[in-house]
Each structure stands twice: as C-alpha cells, then as structure tokens.
Amino acid sequence: MIAILGTGKMGEALMSGLLRAGFKSGQIMATARRVERAEALRESYGVRVVSNIEAAKSADTLILTVKPQDMAGLLAEIQPYVPADRLVISAAAGITTAFVESRLGTDVPVVRVMSNTPVLVDEAMSVISAGAHAGEEHLRHTEELLKPVGKVLRIPESQQDAATALSGSGPAYFFYLVEAMVDAGILLGMPRSAALDMVTQSIVGAAIMLRDSGEHPVILREAVTSPGGTTIAAIAELERHSVRAAFLAAIEAARDRGRELAAG
Ligand SMILES: NC(=O)c1ccc[n+]([C@@H]2O[C@H](COP(=O)([O-])OP(=O)(O)OC[C@H]3O[C@@H](n4cnc5c(N)ncnc54)[C@H](OP(=O)(O)O)[C@@H]3O)[C@@H](O)[C@H]2O)c1
C-alpha cells in the first residue's frame, strides 16, 4: 500500500501516473488538508482518502508531497506512528533526508526526490538520493514508483540543490525561451499563434532528437550551422549578448536561492 501525504499538484500528478502505470486505486491512499480536496480526490481517482495518521500506520511506502514549510508539521504529526520498516519518500524541495530522519527519530529509510512539472505528461526528470538508512532496495523501489512518470536518476544528496536549479526549475527556462522566440516571430511580423506553433514544434523536435539520437548537442547544432549561413548569424548574436554566461549565472543563482530557502 502506498500513501501520498499532502496530495496537491505534485502528489496528484504522481498518483495519476501510478494509476496510469497499472496500480489499482485500492493500492493507493491519499491525504489532504481540506475536506473539498479530499472529496475531489476520492471522486476523480477512487482512492481512499484518510488521515495522515491512518496513512502512516497502514501504508508500506509514504510519499510526502507537502510544501517544504509544511514538512515539519506533517512529520511531527506522523512521527509516533511510523514504524522503522516504512519507506519514506520526501518530494519537498530543500528538505534533507537528515531533517526527515531527525524528525521521525527512528532508523526509518528515507529517499529524497526532486521531480519537475512534466510529471503531468509522464516526462518528468526525477532525481533521487538515499538517506542514512536507505539502501539499494529502497532506491530501487523508489525508481519503480517514479519510472511511470518519466526518467529517474540517482545522484548524491549533495547535488540535490544543483538538480533543483537545473531540472526542477528547468522547464521554466524553456518556457521562457519559447516566449522570447515567439516575441522574435512577432517582431518579424508573424501571427502570434503561428509563431507559437513553430517554436513549440521546434523545441519538441529538438528535444526528441537530443534524447533519442544520443548525439552531443554541439554535433546536432553544427549540423544545422552552415558556414556563412543564417544560423551562425543568430548564434553570433547570442554569443555577443552572453547568453551562455547568463545561463551559467542564472542556474547558479537558482541553486543559491534553493540553499537560502532550505536554511529558512
Ligand atoms: N509543483 C511542482 O512542479 C514541483 C516540482 C518539484 C518539486 N515539488 C515539490 O512538491 C511539493 C508539493 O508542491 P505542490 O506544488 O504540489 O504544492 P501543493 O499543490 O500546495 O501541494 C501540497 C498539498 O499538501 C497539502 N497539505 C499541507 N499540509 C498538509 C498536512 N499537514 N496534511 C495533509 N495535507 C497537507 C496542501 O493542502 P492545501 O491545499 O490546504 O494547502 C496541498 O494540497 C513541494 O514540497 C515542492 O517542493 C513540486
């Protein structure tokens, strides 16, 4: 039995992914803070919506998907009811496995996960790290739960803040890029919807080529950059405006902000 505690956007996306992957609604429990939310989850998914305490007592795997600021409260509530053989998966940005372990106060295995919004379309990038008491079997079990909603990578916990900045926030950078390119299309006199179609299909096509060809991005870019041609004229402008340096600085700033938020 799997329980999702604090079933908001991320919890619901994970739950619907598990159901699409073949888990039965009888194998999943959810918890919510508000009665209307509980009712909506029951109605949409047919899962049992229970209290945090009941979930902690009866599920083998607890997936915590509350916001980071709600984590301490949730852990304090369930602490007396979490036996040491439960797997606890924490999906809250910036919350360390040590924080969860110290609040639960037992040798409970904890795995930390950072996922991203494409979880909604089964294309998430989820990175996972084991806590002090989590071993191979716990990582493998976590991978099995997350694989239906995208790709899963194991990383040392020391790299979680960097992963949050790179792939956790990553989709936002691409949305921003699309926005900027659509503006360029409009500047060139194109209708907004046509520009959006062209840019969206270009980013989807490029992403699939990158993922499926296994080629380095430099090789793929060079293939469409002819000497003295149009693409190199654009690249020259991107370089002149230090776009690469801006990405390095931006993602470093996101990592630093994540650390600040985690420190409270
Ligand atoms: N959304 C993303 O793209 C994303 C990406 C990566 C990581 N994450 C992580 O996922 C976590 C959840 O984010 P989210 O966007 O899904 O937030 P969210 O929609 O606010 O979901 C959290 C849910 O937990 C409920 N809740 C809070 N305290 C509770 C308690 N004690 N018992 C039961 N339910 C409780 C909230 O209830 P109310 O509705 O009453 O507030 C809310 O429905 C965050 O820690 C975030 O760092 C999210």
- Does ligand 1 come within 6 angstroms of the Cβ of 54? no
Q: CA-CA distance, 63 to 228, in Å (whole number)?
A: 54
Atom 45 in ligand 1: residue holding the nearest Cα = 92
Ligand 1 mean position to 15 CA, how many Å? 13
170 lines ligand 1 (CB under 6 A): no
Domains of the chain: 2-155 (3.40.50.720), 170-263 (1.10.3730.10)
**Contact 10 CB / ligand 1 (< 6 Å):** yes
Above pLDDT 90, what percent of the chain? 93
In this prediction the pTM is 0.92
Report whether residue 172 contacts ligand 1, using a CB cutoff of 6 Å.
Answer: no
Distance between CA atoms of residues 21 and 26, nearest Å: 14
pLDDT of 75 above 80: yes
**What was the pLDDT predicted at 196?**
98
The pLDDT score that the predictor gives to residue 262 is 79
Whole-number Å distance, alpha carbon 179 to ligand 1 midpoint, is 27
List residues forming the annotated binding site for NADPH: 52
Residues 111-164 have pLDDT tens digits of: 999 999 999 999 999 999 999 999 999 999 999 999 999 999 999 999 999 999
Whole-number pLDDT of residue 260:
87
H or E element in which residue 197 lies? helix 192-213
Q: Which DSSP helix (H) or strand (E) runs through 88?
A: strand 87-90
From CA 240, how far away is CA 242, in angstroms rounded? 6
pLDDT band at 264 (very low <50, low <70, confident <90, very high): confident
Token pair belonging to 180: 């900027």
N-to-C CA span, the chain: 33
Residue 145 has what pLDDT?
94
- Confidence tier at 31 by pLDDT (50, 70, 90): very high
**Residues near 70 by beta carbon (within 8 Å), at least 6 away in sequence:** 6
Mean pLDDT of 155-174: 96
Q: What is the pLDDT of residue 24?
A: 95
Mean pLDDT for the chain?
Answer: 96
* Residue nearest atom 40 of ligand 1, based on CA coordinates: 33
Distances (CA, A) of 61 to 19, 64, 226: 16, 10, 54
37-64: per-residue pLDDT in tens? 999 999 999 999 999 999 999 999 999 9
Task: Kindly give the distance from the C-alpha atom of residue 168 to the centroid of ligand 1, in angstroms, as a whole number.
Answer: 15
